[in-house]
Structure 1
Amino acid sequence: MRSSIEIVKKLYSEEPAIRDMEDYTNKKLKIWETEVVSHFPIKSQILDIGCGMGREAFCLYDRGFRITAIDISEKVIEPAKKIALESKRDIEFLLTNGLDLPFESNTFDVVIIWSQTFGLLYDEDNKIHILKECSRVLKSNGIISFSGHDKKFLKAKCPQYLNENKFFPYANTDCYWEAFTTNEIIDLAQKAGFSIIECKRGIVYKEEDGSILHCVCRKGAE
């Protein structure tokens, strides 16, 4: 995983990916994200893994949640910190390695791994590892929400960018986003010990944007 972290970090420190994130920073929550938020307890302490430039963190903060946000790329964390400071949003943005969470156990009410972040944790062992790390930092009965690209949709709409389960959104890079089926996502969550609340396809901003797969799970009581 360490070598793939460097591949991912490199991509998200370069102009094309940064420009795409800048375009999204001021957007509202996606339709499926808004639906998922209904599962979060009021004023939850939320950990946002793979926060990018902070779109989700800012939107959730504005809804009354307390946010800690992490990413592996300094090139996106620093602008997010600046926006938070200028807009007087009390959000903690931290630079991490993307796999091991630097937090005490039983710290958060909710963990989110949204956008393409989960699909950047290559290989099953790494996905289960981060899900178990999320379970560790979640409080008893805490909630995790994570998402992935819809393999069925990508096969139908843009097969030229899909190699088996690997979706290559940028040219001339070894970095890809893994794509999933609903059953694959459920299987990973259950292997990490979570109970499934829901796992389904969701709409981004409008139907023509395509679908995303997302899973909401609960940590068991300890």
Structure 2
Amino acid sequence: MKKEFYRRNLPHYQPIGGTFFVTFNLADAIPKRVLDEWAKEFEIQKKSIQLFSQNFDEDLDKLIKLDFAKRDKYLDAANQGESWLKNDELALVVSESLHFWDKRTIDLFCFCIMSNHVHVVFRLLDNFEVKTPKYLDEVMHSIKRFSAKKCNEVLGKTGQFWQYESYDRLIRNDDERFRIIQYVVNNPVKAGLVIKPFEWKWTYLAESFKNIIG
């Protein structure tokens, strides 16, 4: 039986019907030594919070956000790896992989495909909307497996295409969802690639949000 909570290197909470912000990146975008160093730093700071914090949940959430910001800054610099997603043919594969699951297992709100990573926001459809709801790890496994296979075919290569683990965050309320969607569509602007969000070819925003997200 599938569970709402699972763990690899990071803990993941994945309730059916939940809305998630997910970031996944190419396998070579962040070296293993850097990931290991960050993981050690995170655990040290987490233990400090456990020992000394008067507001554990709030301080842990701040730590997680800082950890994500560090990763995203590293990815935006695109100083490591092949940056395969600069290739429009490969970016299209990823875009189609995300759109394929829209209204099948997820309600797709937005995504942005950068040169070496992808940001996406979606809601897991529940058992009132689909016959067999899928958990987050199942959805991400399907998206990454299909897109990796197709991208490797285009490149004429085999082997790992995506980093195995994705960063995911359960979005708690509408205000947080609004802020995160704004963050996603503005990622190419923040990275200095375009002046306006939708000048970036591989930014998608669902019609239902276009009247409130600028």
Q: TM-score, normalised by structure 2?
A: 0.29
In terms of fraction of residues, the more strand-rich structure is: 1
In terms of fraction of residues, the more helix-rich structure is: 2
Q: TM-score, normalised by structure 1?
A: 0.29
Larger radius of gyration: 2
